[in-house]
C-alpha cells in the first residue's frame, strides 16, 4: 500500500483550513442542554456470560432526545471502591458487540463502558442493539449522508450527543470514579472521542486512533475507500448540495471541536491509511487544545497500530489516570 499523502515534515505541521461556523459553540451548547433536560437515570442489569474474573452489566442510558442507548459495563470482579473508567466508542458499522467481547481495560484494572452506535452494529463482528429514530432524505447506503443538508437533522448530531451523554451516564454508576473518565475509539470512534473531549469538561484522558471526521473536505478529496465515499457518491449525484453539505459537516469536524479540549491525549495515525488520510489525523492533533502525544505507523493502512497501539495505551494511561488496582 503506497504512501500518497504529504511528506513527513509537512504532515507534522499540517493545519486544517476548515472555518468554524460562527454559532458552533451555541449549536452544541443548545443540543447538549436539550438532551440533558430529557435525560433519565441509567438502568443497570447484571449479566452472566461466563466471564469469571469480570462482572458484566447491561447498561441502558439516555441519549439524544431521551432515547435509550445500550452499552456493556465490564468491571474487575471482587474489587472495592470506585474504579477509573474507560468509555469506548465504536468504529463505523460497529455496535457494542456481545457481553463476552472485551477490551484490555477491565483486565488492566479499569472499569470499561462500551457503547452502541445508534443504527449501526451490523459489521466487523460487533453487533448493535440500538436503533436510530431520525428521519432523512435520499442518500446512498450507509449513514454519512443521512440528514446531511441541515446540522439539526444530521445523523451525527444524534450520535455525538449519545457519546456526550454516555460520559454523563457512566459518572452516575456505582463503582465508577466520576472524576476519572477516559474516552477512546478508533476511526469513527476516534473522531467522536475528539468531539467529546471538546464538549465535555473534566475528562481525564482521551485516546483517539486513526480518527475519522477530521478535516473532512480534505478527506473527501483524498480517501479512495471506506465511509467517506458515501459522501462523495452523494455529491456526485446531488451536485447542487455541495455548499450545504460542507456547511453541515463543519459543525461535526473533530478538528474544530478538539480545539477546546484540555484532557491529556494519546493519538495514533497510520501513514498509508486510505480510509482516514494521515494529514487529517495530524490536522486534529495539531488543532487539539490539551497536552498531547502521537504515535505514527509508517507502513499501515487504516488498521493502524492495533495491538502495538494498545500496548502504548496500556503504558500511557496510568501516567495520567492511574488505576486503583
Return the active site residues.
Answer: 187, 273, 302
DSSP assignments along 219-263, one per residue: HHHH--SSTHHHHHHHHHH-GGGHHHHHHHHHTT-HHHHGGG--S
CA distance 199 to 202: 10
* Residue of 122, 50, 135, 126 whose CA lies nearest to 89: 126
The sheet with strand 111-115 has its strands ordered as 43-47, 54-62, 68-76, 111-115, 83-89, 176-186, 205-209, 265-270, 292-297
CA distance 108 to 211: 24
* Partners of 293 in beta bridges: 266
Give the end-to-end CA distance of the chain in Å, rounded to a whole number: 42
CA distance 8 to 12: 6
CA distance 296 to 267: 9
Three-state DSSP at 312 gives helix
Tell the burial category of 53 from Cβ atoms under 10 Å away from its Cβ (0-12, 13-18, 19+): exposed
The packing angle between helices 242-250 and 228-237, to 10°, is 150
CA distance 323 to 325: 6
Q: Which three cell numbers stand for residue 290?
A: 490539551
Judge contact between 266 and 212, C-beta under 8 A: no
Cα dihedral 248, 254, 255, 261 in deg (nearest 10):
130
Q: Which three cell numbers stand for residue 54?
A: 469480570
Amino acid at each position: 500500500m503506497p504512501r500518497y499523502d504529504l511528506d513527513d515534515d509537512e504532515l507534522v505541521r499540517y493545519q486544517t483550513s476548515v472555518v468554524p461556523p460562527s454559532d458552533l459553540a451555541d449549536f452544541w451548547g443548545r443540543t447538549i442542554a436539550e438532551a440533558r433536560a430529557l435525560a433519565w437515570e441509567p438502568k443497570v442489569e447484571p449479566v452472566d456470560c461466563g466471564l469469571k474474573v469480570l462482572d458484566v452489566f447491561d447498561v441502558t442510558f439516555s441519549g439524544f432526545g431521551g432515547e435509550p442507548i445500550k452499552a456493556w459495563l465490564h468491571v474487575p470482579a471482587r474489587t472495592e471502591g470506585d474504579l477509573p473508567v474507560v468509555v469506548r466508542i465504536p468504529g463505523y458499522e460497529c455496535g457494542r458487540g456481545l457481553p463476552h467481547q472485551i477490551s484490555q481495560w477491565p483486565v488492566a484494572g479499569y472499569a470499561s463502558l462500551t457503547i452502541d452506535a445508534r443504527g449501526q452494529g451490523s459489521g466487523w463482528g460487533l453487533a448493535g442493539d440500538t436503533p436510530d429514530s431520525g428521519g432523512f432524505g435520499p442518500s446512498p447506503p450507509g449513514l454519512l449522508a443521512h440528514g446531511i443538508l441541515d446540522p439539526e437533522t444530521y445523523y451525527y448530531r444524534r450520535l455525538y450527543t449519545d457519546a456526550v451523554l454516555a460520559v454523563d451516564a457512566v459518572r452516575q454508576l456505582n463503582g465508577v470514579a466520576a472524576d476519572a473518565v477516559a474516552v477512546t475509539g478508533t476511526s469513527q470512534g476516534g473522531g467522536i472521542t475528539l468531539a467529546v473531549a471538546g464538549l465535555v469538561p473534566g475528562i481525564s484522558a482521551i485516546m483517539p486512533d486513526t480518527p475519522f471526521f477530521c478535516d473532512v473536505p480534505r478527506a473527501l478529496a483524498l480517501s479512495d475507500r471506506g465511509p467517506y465515499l458515501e459522501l462523495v457518491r452523494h455529491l456526485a449525484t446531488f451536485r447542487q448540495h455541495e455548499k450545504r453539505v460542507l456547511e453541515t459537516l463543519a459543525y461535526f469536524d473533530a478538528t474544530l471541536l478538539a480545539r477546546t479540549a484540555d484532557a491529556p491525549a494519546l493519538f495514533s495515525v497510520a501513514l498509508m491509511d486510505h480510509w482516514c488520510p494521515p494529514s487529517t489525523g495530524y490536522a486534529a492533533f495539531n488543532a487539539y487544545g490539551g497536552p498531547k502525544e502521537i504515535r505514527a505507523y509508517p507502513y499501515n493502512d487504516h488498521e493502524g497500530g492495533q495491538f502495538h497501539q494498545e500496548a502504548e495505551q496500556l503504558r500511557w494511561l496510568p501516567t495520567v489516570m492511574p488505576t486503583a488496582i
